[in-house]
Amino acid sequence: MIRKLTLLLAALITSITVLAADNQYVLGVDGLACPFCGYGIEKRLNKVDGVTDVQVDVGESVVHVTMQEGKVLTEDRARQAVDEAGFTLRSYSVAEGRTGGGNGQ
């Protein structure tokens, strides 16, 4: 029984490690005023190659973007997508505690 629990725990830890290998970015975006704005930027960022998840916090004017392992969201690409959605990129950073492409490179 203990051995099965140990194996289950090891599998869970491995799964969490694999999920953490995704590249995650935090984008500060000016102009996010309502949920419709959030939907617009989410829709545009989801068209970027390698994006697996976009979470928009309209209240904080922040967008969290998750990329596939091995894919990188450069600051230039993020700025282009945000501009195309009709907003302004205020800040760009790799999420703390996550692997990234070395500051978007």
Q: Can you tell me the distance from the alpha carbon of 91 to that of 100, in angstroms, rounded to the nearest whole number? A: 16
Distances (CA, A) of 8 to 5, 20, 21, 45, 57: 5, 19, 20, 36, 35
Longest Cα–Cα distance of the chain, Å, equals 57
Q: Distance between alpha carbon 42 and the CA centroid of its chain, in Å? A: 11
Q: Where along the chain do its domains lie?
A: 22-94
Assigned CATH for 22-94: 3.30.70.100
Check pLDDT > 80 for residue 74.
yes
Check pLDDT > 90 for residue 15.
no
Point out the least confidently predicted range of 4-13, 28-37, 42-51, 78-87.
4-13
Tens-digit pLDDT profile for residues 79-88: 999 999 999 9
Confidence class for position 3, pLDDT limits 50, 70, 90: low
| Burial of residue 11, with CB atoms counted within 10 A of its CB: 0-12 exposed, 13-18 middle, 19 or more buried | exposed
